[in-house]
Amino acid sequence: MKVSRTEIPDVVIVEPAVHRDDRGFFVETFHEPRYRGEGIAGPFVQDNQSRSTLGTLRGLHAQRRPQAKLVRAVRGEVYDVAVDVRRGSATFSRFVATILSEENFRQLYVPAGFCHGFAVLSDVAEIEYKCTDIYRPEEEIAVRWNDPQLAIPWPVEDPILSHRDRNAPLLAELEPL
């Protein structure tokens, strides 16, 4: 597996080894000792999957409780983003973005204290992600996807958004984590 450190040291891009032959492929999508050795610590206690259509933008979401995520696309392609919302952090309000797809098998490790979101670039995309804490609706926070302070260059002009995401607060309005 290849691990790439990003400009935000806690955010990591993982490219698992993919073994292809005439039958298809085999890939280890998680191997606890190897991932832990790269700073991707669990334990992971919940797995989630979502399906979205072209132009959908989900995010930016986080939990007030410390919750890290290991995200991958199992179908289609997404522009995936992690935003540091830890007040006092040297990288506060900065983001890392990468393309996750069923073709590149890439994974994004989103540490605790980061918001996560993605925009769908293919007709349909399915995302799976592991979480280090159980989802609790009362602990969820959101930051507006097009917050000018973040200046994320989303590759969709008029995204399909949930009511909650469309009306999420700006980062400056968010209570500190």
The pLDDT tens digits for 36-48 are: 999 998 899 999 9
User: Residue 175 above 90 pLDDT?
Assistant: no
- Which pLDDT band, with edges at 50, 70 and 90, does 138 fall under? very high
Which pLDDT band holds residue 85 (cuts at 50, 70, 90)? Answer: very high
Average pLDDT over residues 76-87: 97
8 pLDDT more than 90? yes
Task: Tell me if 35 sits within 8 A of 14, measured CB to CB.
Answer: yes
Please pick, among 35, 79, 109, 129, the residue that the annotation labels catalytic. 129
**How far is 58 from 75, CA to CA, in rounded Å?**
16
DSSP 3-state percent helix, strand, coil across the chain (nearest 5): 10, 45, 45
- Widest CA span of the chain, in angstroms? 53
- Average the pLDDT over 162-175 and give the result: 95
The average confidence (pLDDT) of the chain is 96
Q: Are 83 and 94 in contact (CB under 8 A)?
A: yes
Please count the CA atoms within 13 angstroms of the CA of 168 that sit on its side-chain side. 26
Q: What is the DSSP letter of 169?
A: P
Residue 155 token pair: 């590759």
pTM above 0.85, yes or no: yes
Catalytic-residue membership of 61: yes
What local confidence, expressed as pLDDT, does residue 42 receive?
83
**Is pLDDT of 140 > 90?**
yes
Tell me how many degrees the CA angle 59-60-62 measures, rounded to the nearest 5.
110
The catalytic residue among 61, 79, 109, 116 is 61
Distances (CA, A) of 169 to 24, 27, 109, 141, 145: 45, 39, 24, 9, 9
- Confidence check: pLDDT of 153 > 80: yes
Domains parsed from the chain with CATH numbers: 2-173 (2.60.120.10)
pLDDT confidence of residue 41? 80
